[in-house]
Amino acid sequence: MNGGRRPAAAVLAACAVWAAVAAADRAAAQTTPIVVASKPFAESYLLAEAFAQVLESHGYPVDRRPGFASTELVFQALVRGDVDVYPEYTGTGLAAILGETAAGGSAEVFRRVSDTFLARWGVRWLPPLGFENTYAIAMRRTAADSLNLRTLTGLADAAPELGGGFSPDFMGRADGLDGLTAAYGIEFRETRSLLQAVKYQALAEGAVDVIDAYSTDGAISRHDLTVLADDRRFFPPYDAAPLVSGDFYDSRPEAVLALARLAGRVDVEAVRRANERIEVDGAPVAEAAARLLADIGLSEAGLENAEGERAQPNRSPRRSTLLALPAYMWGERAELAGQVARHLLLVLVSLGAAILVALPAGVALERRRSIAEAVIRTAGLLQTIPGIALLAFMIPVFGIGVAPAVVALFLYSLLPILRNTYTGIVEAAPDAVSAGRALGMTEVQLLTRIRMPLAAPVIMAGVRTAAVINVGTATLAAFIGAGGLGDPIVAGLALSDPVMILSGAVPAAILAVFGDWTLARAESLVAPSGVRS
């Protein structure tokens, strides 16, 4: 009897252990923030914030990572599991990610992307929200009326006399400018790559004649634009839906169900009104998202904020003059303090690592002068890589957030420190070095007592240059979810909000000046008195 009970007891014990481990995993999952990301345009910010508020209303902590630079970057982060959910469009999934052309209606496109994304990457599309936001080609109403343009077919005839301004994402996609050109034979006099928010200003000022827009943009009515009809049905269906990682779908089923409550409830008029609140009235994204959820019956807490927004239309962060900047920064002081702290973390860690590597490397190259120029030029090649591209290269290896940003900033900091260290040591008072040798000093003594002290001002000049470069380049880290003072800059660009842009740019400039001043004081301490004089 006892022999038969032992295996059963062992099984029960194993089950108990498994249950305890599973319960611990579930508890840990509940306390781990859900990472909600967006792309850098107003509606993506809006929907991501709505997702975040829905999750928070169900008790889940949320880590917001807004403003990823492109579809490719945010999708790559989702596949890696660095992002849990972000708002995407079925047409974008079909054309920009899968590289396929539209075949069938909305239901067929949704089925296609759902099946393929799950099979290929293990990520899942949740049910569509209930509205479609397709690409739109827009012109100033007065210009369209004067040319009697109503369709894209008509635009093809007038295009050789017109200039186009298009977002980088639109210019590089199969369902974007290249495909549009092939489908309609449209050839513009010139085309410019413009950020989403900048396009409207360029169009209003006459710098361009035609832009790409989104059919739910609040800025269309704000700027009195005409949307040209896609009479050949080139653009595929663009139904908005939450796109979630496989790990999130499997480990947080209750959170997935909370997001699924949005399915079919967000109609095009509701989202257009929300976009107008952000893009026309200048309402904060959080308030516009709260009002949207209240409009569709998923939030009661948002009603009070929304009514406050309506009662005080001038309370928004968008201001007409720089006089509003101090008041806005004071109102956002808590968030701004966190952004400054994150920015300092990125700069100090990357700069410190660069000093630890480049300084001894520069010293070592003085003994290996035959390879010095090749090594320095190799470091110089890193400076030729655009900042956002270098950050993007880091994602497959380090994921998103602080780690890839620190590595990229570290690589950018190497050249000025390495070059100045090598140059300073090589050119450090040859007569003094010769005199030291005549006195019998060893190479180590020559380095520590003559060369390094004399080279200190040159080396510190390289460190100061690297520090200033780092502070400025670190603002780009917001495009990969690393935070810092780039967050308000990216958000301000997406929302056409100059005050929000300056709330990040001004502190970054102050940090750069203060950092350079601090290092200048440090330089005066490490340089010999004779060199200082």
pLDDT (tens digit per residue) in 206-249: 999 999 998 898 888 888 899 999 999 888 899 999 999 999 99
Q: Do 259 and 394 lie in a common domain?
A: no
Higher-confidence residue of 496 and 188: namely 188
- Residues 288 and 277 sit within 8 Å (Cβ to Cβ): yes
Instruction: Return the pLDDT at 515.
Output: 94
Rounded average pLDDT over 92-114: 88
Q: Quick check: 14 pLDDT over 60?
A: no
Q: Is residue 46 part of a domain?
A: yes
Residues 338 and 450 in one domain: yes
In the chain, the N- to C-terminal Cα span, in Å, equals 96
Structure confidence by residue, pLDDT tens digits, 269-291? 899 999 989 888 888 999 999 99
* Residue 315: per-residue pLDDT: 37
Q: Is the pLDDT of residue 440 over 50?
A: yes
Looking at every residue in the chain, the average pLDDT score rounds to 85
CA distance 107 to 110: 5
Q: Is the dihedral of CA 210, 215, 217, 219 positive or negative?
A: positive
283 shares its domain with 415:
no
pLDDT of residue 11: 42
* Sign, CA torsion 188/149/238/224: positive
Task: Kindly report the CATH number assigned to the domain that includes residue 426.
Answer: 1.10.3720.10
- What does the alpha-carbon distance between residue 465 and residue 420 come to, in Å, rounded to a whole number? 10
More confident residue, 165 or 175: 165
* Those residues with Cβ within 8 angstroms of residue 283's Cβ, 6 or more apart along the chain or in another chain: 277, 291, 309, 316
Q: Is residue 211 part of a domain?
A: yes
Tokens of 78: 């989702």
Return the biggest CA–CA distance within the chain: 97
Question: Where does 427-451 have alpha helices with state H?
Answer: 430-438, 443-446
Query: Contact, 456 vs 527, CB < 8 A?
Result: yes
What's the CA dihedral at 213, 215, 218, 220 to 10 degrees?
60
Between 139 and 438, whose confidence is greater? 139
Name the phi and psi angles at 164, rounded to 5. -115, 145
Residue 319 reports pLDDT greater than 60: no
Choose the final residue of a domain: 197, 228, 259.
228
The answer on 308 and 223 residing in a single domain is no
Angle formed at CA 309 by CA 304 and CA 315, multiple of 5 degrees = 135
pLDDT band at 111 (very low <50, low <70, confident <90, very high): very high
Res. 370 pLDDT band, cuts 50 70 90: confident
- The answer on pLDDT for 85 being more than 90 is yes
Q: Which of 202-206, 237-241, 256-260 has the lowest mean pLDDT?
A: 202-206
Token pair, residue 280, equals: 């026309």
Q: What is the domain range of residue 222?
A: 135-228
Distance CA 238, CA 227 (A): 17
Of 498, 421, 425, nearest to 462 (Cα)?
421
Beta-carbon count within 10 A of 439 CB: 9
Asked if pLDDT for residue 369 goes beyond 80, the answer is yes
What CATH number does the domain containing 103 carry?
3.40.190.10
Instruction: Based on the fold, state whether residues 488 and 476 are members of the same structural domain.
Output: yes
Q: Per-residue pLDDT averaged across 103-130, rounded? A: 94
Q: State residue 429's pLDDT score.
A: 63
Domain identity same for 279 and 248: yes
Candidates 415, 506, 453, 512; CA nearest to 520 is 512
Instruction: Tell me whether residue 194 is in a domain.
Output: yes
pLDDT at 533: 52
- pLDDT at position 306 over 50: no
Instruction: Tell me whether residue 518 is in a domain.
Output: yes
Share of the chain above pLDDT 90, in %: 53
Kindly compute the dihedral angle of the four CA atoms of residues 35, 38, 39, 41, in this order, to the nearest 10 degrees. Answer: -150
Q: Do 356 and 488 lie in a common domain?
A: yes
**Average pLDDT, integer, range 480-492:** 89
**pLDDT value for 416:** 94
Token pair 């007038």 is found at: 158
383 plus 527 within the same structural domain:
yes
The DSSP H or E segment spanning 191 is strand 190-193
Q: What is the CATH number of the domain that holds 211?
A: 3.40.190.120
- Please report which confidence band the pLDDT of residue 257 belongs to, taking 50, 70 and 90 as the band edges: very high
Quick check: is 10 in a domain?
no
- End-of-domain residue from the set 172, 198, 228: 228
Residue type, 34: I
Q: Is the pLDDT of residue 325 over 90?
A: no
| Mean local confidence (pLDDT), 28-44 | 86
Give the lowest-confidence range in 73-87, 232-246, 294-308: 294-308
* DSSP β-bridge partners for residue 164: 191, 210
pLDDT at site 532: 54
Task: Read off the pLDDT band of 530 (50, 70, 90).
Answer: low
Please say which residue of 168, 200, 228 terminates a domain: 228
Mean pLDDT of 96-113: 87
> Can you list the positions of beta strands (E) in 4-155?
34-37, 62-65, 85-89, 124-125, 135-140
Query: Looking at the domain assignment, is residue 324 inside a domain?
Result: no
Residue, of 371 and 16, whose pLDDT is higher: 371
Identify the pLDDT of residue 522. Answer: 87
Count: domains in the chain: 3
Question: Do 48 and 111 fall within a single domain?
Answer: yes
Mark whether 301 and 415 lie in a shared domain. Answer: no
Does the pLDDT of residue 343 top 80, yes or no?
A: yes
On whether both 360 and 498 belong to a single domain, the answer is: yes
In a domain, 491, yes or no: yes
Does one domain contain both 127 and 160?
no
Task: Specify the pLDDT at position 4.
Answer: 47
CA distance linking residue 455 with residue 531, whole number of Å: 9
